[in-house]
Structure 1
Amino acid sequence: MFAGVLAAGAATGSLPTSDRGPEPGATRTAASAARPDEVAAAAAEAAAEGKSPMEAAERAVSRSGDRWDAVYSEGEYEEFEESLDGEYTGVGLSARRGRDGRIQVAEVAPGSPAAAAGIRAGDRLRSVDGERTDGRPVTEVVSVLRGDATDAAAGSTVRLGLERGTRAWTRTLLRARIATDSVSVRRLSAGVTAIKIAAFTKGTGDTVRTAVRRAPAAAGIILDLRGNSGGLVTEAVTAASAFLDGGLVATYDIDGEQRALHAEAAGDTTRPLVALVDGGTMSAAELLTGALQDRGRAVVVGSRTFGKGSVQMPSRLPDGSVAELTVGHYRTPAGRSVDGRGITPDLEADRNALRRAESVLAGLGQ
């Protein structure tokens, strides 16, 4: 849900005002330097003329050709920030673009309106409130699901067009206030601890570190990042600190100056670790995966990740709306760019990926 929002909150907070540069080591172009200023200027000019700054910014953003560039209303952005605090208004499903390009249900929150309606991960989401989803950005579809544009409250309705195999149907759901439990921990056979991270919301990193400390001594860990569309990079770095003894997690660039994100010292560097990923693993989750893979700390199992490693700069417009523009990219400790490429797992596994991860742990000495 958070792939296009606050992906670069690592260094400057949730609403940084500094510009951000291109890929580390690259020369910053005039276009990349000017684009944030151009959008801000368009919004300011519209405000001075009594027109909508948000609409002016949207027109400027549409010319960028970058799929992650976006403009959010004040209400939409507040909803995203609430999500990162661990609570949001919605129906309890996350969406992603499938390999066929169509929007699919990535995950359904237990006890949510979507779960009560029998919606399952893998169902195709054909329409929302009568508007087809094909060709629309995932972030836009999620925003409509949650009613961000209309500041829809809990109890408001949303009509979903769904498809599963040859069956197509429509369901009307009531939105609800949903608390997101971003980390879940369970014990598997042979003492293995599975830590599932659904998203990097506030506090996720410390929760992961606590789970690692409480895991049985010397027992293996499966870090399940499947379907994790990202969130706060600071939390991903803290999660990395659970498994690394300091050192580099990622690099990025601000105003032509390369900067680095480092793990804290004294993480558990000895117990066997497998990171489980898939096509829904995005953004901050890819950053964490890349760090563990490059530094030889984990065996990565699953399928190629999504490939969202871009850096956004969010900035307020005169009417309170927020423009987010891509102005750079993260790199893994080995210097790999994730954006548009994703991370290739060490071992491919689609079906029964969790079982494959357990087998790998056994081979690592679990």
Structure 2
Amino acid sequence: MVFASVLVAGAATGSLPGTDRRDAADGAAQAAPVGHHAEVARAAEEAAAHGASPLEAAERAVSRSGDRWAAVYSPGEYEDFEDTLDGAYTGVGLWARERNGRIEVTRVGSGTPAAGAGIRPGDRLRSVDGEKVDGRPVTEVVSILRGDTTGKSAGTTVRLGLERGTRAWSETLRRARVSRDTVTVRSLASRARVIEVGAFTRGSGERVRTAVREAPAGAGIVLDLRGNPGGLVAEAVTAASAFLDGGLVATYDVDGEQRALHAEPGGDTTRPLVALVDGGTMSAAELLTGALQDRGRAVVVGSRTFGKGSVQMPTPLPDGSVAELTVGHYRTPSGRGVDGQGLTPDLEADEQALERAETVLGGLGQ
């Protein structure tokens, strides 16, 4: 089963304990009726029995289902998604968010094609291969950037229309296989540690726990989740365990059956903690934020999060392709739903969010 979220340079997959689950997407989810995954699987099986394409039959069934988050992947595409579990993906190395109907670059990976072209955070992405992206969901922009809709892969080119202030220009970039360390740590002049989590890929949760253990005694922590599109939910729960002494992280439902996710005991519950979020904070990152906020463990600073809280389940098809279909939603420990509404920070901040976080840490005893 999956909680969906997207990297603009490549989708991050995700999983929950006990079964294969993955993350993929954008916007306010609209779940289709529970049980439609059986209809999609049946359509694929009937197609295979008559010598037709199971993948194409599944795509037609998905289009009729009303499931906004559903997707059907060929075996090769699904294998590419699995690669993202290790922080590897095909793309140009930039991350973005939707802001006031526009697509804004939030992060550029070091050594990536986007960095080589001089693209910076704050630049506006106006078009991809001549297609305007204003007003389009982030997932659609992701699909075009990755070349998913046209079967393009690493080595192919993509033309970006960009804007910075009054300057407008175009860049042609070559897609590449990009690897990224999704957890980085740095110190501020105030002795506080900034732990930035770009996505919840494999091992990221334990890296967060290690960073907390290695922080100087008494030093506060800024957990920067801005632009984090989610990823492996199990890794987000492990990250929560760095700051909580056990207890509830989130609840979720699968076809109406309620389940729960719990932190491991023994986390640091006394160190001052601020979580930084913005409109690019999605899915598993929202799950972590909601747990820390509901349980009074962190002060959340920034802007309203994205609002992606639906649960997808992968369904294998006869030809090896995979359909991912919505089966439920998750909630924070206090029962708040995230889907379509996001999380409201305790303190609103935008351009000076990190500075505000430092100020808050000082008030918490940093």
Q: TM-score, normalised by structure 2?
A: 0.89
- Give the deviation of 1:286 after TM superposition: 0.3
Say yes or no: does 1:287 pair with 2:287.
yes
Aligned counterpart, 2:26: none
Q: Does structure 1 conserve the Cα–Cα contact (< 8 Å) formed by 2:256 and 2:328?
A: no
Aligned counterpart, 2:87: 86
**In structure 2, C-alpha distance between the alignment counterparts of 1:324 and 1:203, rounded to whole Å:** 24
**In structure 2, C-alpha distance between the alignment counterparts of 1:342 and 1:138, rounded to whole Å:** 15
Residues 1-366 of structure 1: pairs in structure 2 closer than 5 A: 3=5, 9-14=15-20, 32-100=33-101, 102-134=102-134, 136-148=136-148, 152-366=152-366
- Give the deviation of 1:9 after TM superposition: 1.8
Q: Does structure 2 conserve the Cα–Cα contact (< 8 Å) formed by 1:94 and 1:142?
A: no
Q: Helix, strand or coil: the match of 1:33?
A: coil
In the alignment, structure 1 segments of 5+ residues that lack a partner are 17-28
Give the AA of the match of 1:14. D
In the alignment, structure 2 segments of 5+ residues that lack a partner are 23-30
1:85-123 CA-to-partner distances (Å, cap 9, x unmatched) read 1112221012332221x3332321112110111112233
- Give the deviation of 1:305 after TM superposition: 0.4
Q: Does structure 2 conserve the Cα–Cα contact (< 8 Å) formed by 1:7 and 1:284?
A: no
- Give the deviation of 1:43 after TM superposition: 1.9
Q: Does structure 2 conserve the Cα–Cα contact (< 8 Å) formed by 1:75 and 1:151?
A: no
Q: Helix, strand or coil: the match of 1:289?
A: helix
1:20-76 CA-to-partner distances (Å, cap 9, x unmatched) read xxxxxxxxx9x7332111111222223333333223222222233343222223222
Q: Helix, strand or coil: the match of 2:325?
A: strand
| Shift in CA distance, 165/69, structure 1 to aligned 2, threshold 3 Å | farther
Q: Helix, strand or coil: the match of 1:287?
A: helix
| Shift in CA distance, 51/6, structure 1 to aligned 2, threshold 3 Å | farther
**In structure 2, C-alpha distance between the alignment counterparts of 1:32 and 1:262, rounded to whole Å:** 28
Q: Does structure 1 conserve the Cα–Cα contact (< 8 Å) formed by 2:161 and 2:169?
A: yes
Give the AA of the match of 1:3. S
**In structure 2, C-alpha distance between the alignment counterparts of 1:58 and 1:161, rounded to whole Å:** 31
- Give the deviation of 1:274 after TM superposition: 0.3
Q: Does structure 1 conserve the Cα–Cα contact (< 8 Å) formed by 2:302 and 2:349?
A: yes
Q: Helix, strand or coil: the match of 1:143?
A: helix
Give the AA of the match of 2:121. A
**In structure 1, C-alpha distance between the alignment counterparts of 2:12 and 2:233, rounded to whole Å:** 8
Identity %: 73
1:187-229 CA-to-partner distances (Å, cap 9, x unmatched) read 0022100000000000000000000000010110000000001
Q: Does structure 2 conserve the Cα–Cα contact (< 8 Å) formed by 1:7 and 1:311?
A: no
Give the AA of the match of 2:142. V
| Shift in CA distance, 15/227, structure 1 to aligned 2, threshold 3 Å | closer
| Shift in CA distance, 262/98, structure 1 to aligned 2, threshold 3 Å | same
- Give the deviation of 1:336 after TM superposition: 0.7
Q: Does structure 1 conserve the Cα–Cα contact (< 8 Å) formed by 2:96 and 2:227?
A: no
| Shift in CA distance, 74/104, structure 1 to aligned 2, threshold 3 Å | farther
- Give the deviation of 1:259 after TM superposition: 1.2
- Give the deviation of 1:164 after TM superposition: 3.0
Q: Does structure 1 conserve the Cα–Cα contact (< 8 Å) formed by 2:309 and 2:330?
A: yes
How many equivalent pairs are there? 352
**In structure 2, C-alpha distance between the alignment counterparts of 1:8 and 1:115, rounded to whole Å:** 27
